[in-house]
Amino acid sequence: MGRGRLRIYLGAAPGVGKTYAMLGEGRRALARGRDVVVGFVETHGRRRTAEQLDGLEIVPRRQLRHRGADFTELDVDAVIARKPKIALIDELAHTNVPGSRNAKRWQDIDEILAAGIDVISTVNIQHLESLNDVVEQITGVPQRETVPDEVVRRADQIELVDMSPEALRRRMAHGNVYAPETIDAALANYFRVGNLTALRELALLWVAGKVDEQLDRYRADHAISGTWEARERVVVALTGGPEGETLVRRAARIAARSKGADLLAVHVTRADGLSSSADPASLAKQRALVESLGGTYHQVVGDDIPRALLDFAGGVNATQLVLGASRRGRLARILSRGVGLTTTALSGSIDVHLVTHEATRHTGRPAASRAALTRRRRLAGWAMALLAMPLLTLALLPFYGHLTLPSQILLFLLLVVGVALVGGMWPALTAAVFGFALLNWFFTPPLHTLTIHAPENLLALIIFVLVAAMVSTVVDLAARRTREAARSSAEAEVLSTLAGQVLRGEPLLERLREIYGLTSVTLLERAGERWRIVSMAGGPPCTDPGSGDTDVVIDDDLVLAVRGKLLDAADRRVLEAFAAEAAVALRHQRLREEAEAARPLAEANKMRTALLAAVSHDLRTPLAAAKAAVEGLRSTEIDWSPADRRELLATADESLVKLHRLVENLLDMSRLQAGVLGLSLEHVAVEEVVSRAVADVDEVGDRVRVDLPADLPEVMADPVLLERVLVNLMGNGVRYSPVLVTASALGSTVEIRIIDSGPGIPPEAHERVFLPFQRLGDRDNHTGVGLGLALSRGLTEAMDGTLVPEETPGGGLTMIVSLKVAT
């Protein structure tokens, strides 16, 4: 028996119709004769969803008891024993009640799939592990129930249940999603249009990524190498040359013409790691430009550049390829078609754009580095060519009759190779010509003339010159490549060090100064007509670009100036790469500073929004109750009995008390944040304050049990503020379970513990509950503004105490108020 197939209905938010769609598919499968059962479905009291259950077989749920309450969960064994063809199981990310076999429902579903049963399930985008923090950032509501992305990605079929934000809000307003008393709070908080739009975009993008994966897998499985234009992907080829920025911007404009198109930049390096035209600094700038335009940068290895480009483009299913027009000279174009034309000829279904640019005016290839060999080696090579040849001739003259001409030619050829190794090609070619003349004059009959009688001697001398020239060229090229490889290795090591510095956030300029032994390195920024120092290492700093020994212009406003020694062209390339990364690091630092500066404003705006939303809701209920009571009492049309009048007065009084407490909390919170809260510390008996607080929690005071030791010392506190703290904490606890209040003296402090056995909160959320206007979860947003715990901690700290939460053994939450003992 094979493994079952998993089908998931994915939604952007609660209420879009995932469960309804799942049940509809189940009913259709049942009508087709498939064996379908409902393993677990949560209707949330929605009438139309409940109607979809009619006619479907429901597997009984498993009964569990936890913390004195009864719960029901999916019965995995019952579903497997029933052996249906399809099981409908809601809420993939659900966390099972403690005591269940698995911690998560997706693990239950995995067991059912392993038994060969197909499963249809549902999940919201906010429950995906990778998007959990993003959703919390958008909505301000943390989601404790998550499912690993890989579990959802492994599904055989994912169907997006989509609904516009406006349509979902209309559904909520009509009472089709939540209970009427929670609609206003939900619409004003989690279900704002902006939140729903962002969640919808996340869901669409995630599903699009899943579709891309499926398409890539299908193409790979069926060996499809051609391009399928399901989505525009524009690849731009970068050489590190001056035309790179022009190409990137042109490719970005091409990509912008298609909604959702991808921009990818690729640089092809040779297999030996050497490239005479790639400028690391230019590549770094171009990479930063690509990423700033929303693209990605890639690097591939290949000696056949057209083939490497097309292999990459085919691998990413690119539809368009952007190349720069050739910078080669006319002769080179005649001898070879070049990368652009070759790529176009081999591109197949990929559109190739050859973009002209300013650099095409300079058609010659960049000259090879003259610094491949040091000046000392070149001088030594010329000395050998001009002096060693006559010395070799003088050494061979005594052996004229004993050595044949081929032997003498081989000795001269050996010397030419030595000259090539030391001084390069031009001294070696000079030595070859000079050796030809010396061999002809001293060793080729007739002697001491330039005439050669024997044709074979002429041929031997000509071959000597040709072989010497070819060997000199090869040896010179090998020597240059060796030196370039060594320099490239050194540059790569420096650049890798640079990358590590950037990742670790260490100072780049100080590292640059150490590497090159510089006196100072200064990053300058233009400020009007003057320059100002942004960052520096060493000293004294450069005050303007002209005061340094070497300067690198990063852009119109940034210049890197170094002092200590002149850097050659090769070192300058690395310096430019450093400069580009320093500029990127500076911009990132400023963005972080701007973000940090904006954070208080964002937090204040978030708090203001939460305050307005919460207060508007929490004011409405007591105001409506008080208004209704007063209007009823004023009405002359109804003859109220004394009992009815007392009840209306009590309702009005209770509502006004709630309003009074809400306003007091808001005022006290504003005084705390402004630092102007007035308090009077004095010796306070804990028993008296606790008894008043218990009496104040009048609605549920019978659920508070007090167990205080008789010898408890007095504490330093403001009795009024301490009472308010205890009332808030007791009132918060009795909403979930009976509360026990205990206290104990520990050295110079007294700890008052308010203990409940309710659902508790996870340890990672212990500090978050003390933020103003915060409630954990989005199910109970109509029970207060969310100021109680924040205000309680603020008041406690104002009395030089502390308020910390901890888990109650066996389940629940314990709030510990610590105050100093009165002395």
CB 78 within 8 A of CB 59: yes
Confidence (pLDDT) at 781: 38
- DSSP assignment of 769-807: GGSTT--SSSS--SS--S-HHHHHHHHHHHTT-EEEEEE
Whole-angstrom distance between the N-terminal and C-terminal Cα of the chain?
Answer: 77
Three-state DSSP class for residue 635: coil
* Strand order through the sheet with 813-820: 704-707, 739-746, 749-756, 813-820, 802-807
Burial call 721-737: b when 16+ CB within 10 Å, e when fewer: bbbbbbbbbbbbbbeeb
Print the SS3 string covering 315-326.
Answer: HCCCCEEEEECC
CB 428 within 8 A of CB 466: no
* HSE of 668, CA atoms in CB hemisphere, 13 A: 23
Amino acid at 2: G
Could you tell me the two tokens for 227? Answer: 């391009």
- Residue 562's contacts (CB-CB under 8 Å, 6 or more residues apart) are 512, 513, 516, 518, 520, 521, 522, 542, 548, 549, 550, 551, 575
- DSSP assignment of 722-743: HHHHHHHHHHHHHTTS-EEEEE
Distance from C-alpha of 57 to C-alpha of 43, rounded to nearest angstrom: 15
DSSP H or E run through 393: helix 389-396
CB 294 within 8 A of CB 236: no
Three-state DSSP class for residue 72: strand
Amino acid at 495: L
As averages over each run of 10 residues, the pLDDT of the chain (823 residues) reads 90 91 94 94 87 92 84 92 95 89 92 95 90 81 84 89 88 80 74 87 79 60 54 85 86 80 86 58 81 85 84 83 76 65 83 77 46 73 88 87 83 85 82 84 81 75 80 74 68 60 57 78 85 85 82 81 75 73 78 80 60 56 78 80 85 79 65 61 92 74 84 90 86 85 91 89 76 48 52 84 88 91 88
At CA 376, angle to CA 375 and CA 382, rounded to 5?
90
Distance from C-alpha of 477 to C-alpha of 361, rounded to nearest angstrom: 29
Distance from C-alpha of 542 to C-alpha of 535, rounded to nearest angstrom: 11
- DSSP assignment of 440-485: IIIISSSTTSS----HHHHHHHHHHHHHHHHHHHHHHHHHHHHHHH
Confidence (pLDDT) at 536: 84
Indicate whether this model's pTM tops 0.75: no
- Residue 340's contacts (CB-CB under 8 Å, 6 or more residues apart) are 323, 324, 325, 326, 352, 354
Amino acid at 306: P
Helix ranges restricted to H, 271-347: 280-292, 305-315, 330-335, 338-346
Could you tell me the two tokens for 678? Answer: 């007035």
Please compute Rg for the chain using Cα positions.
41
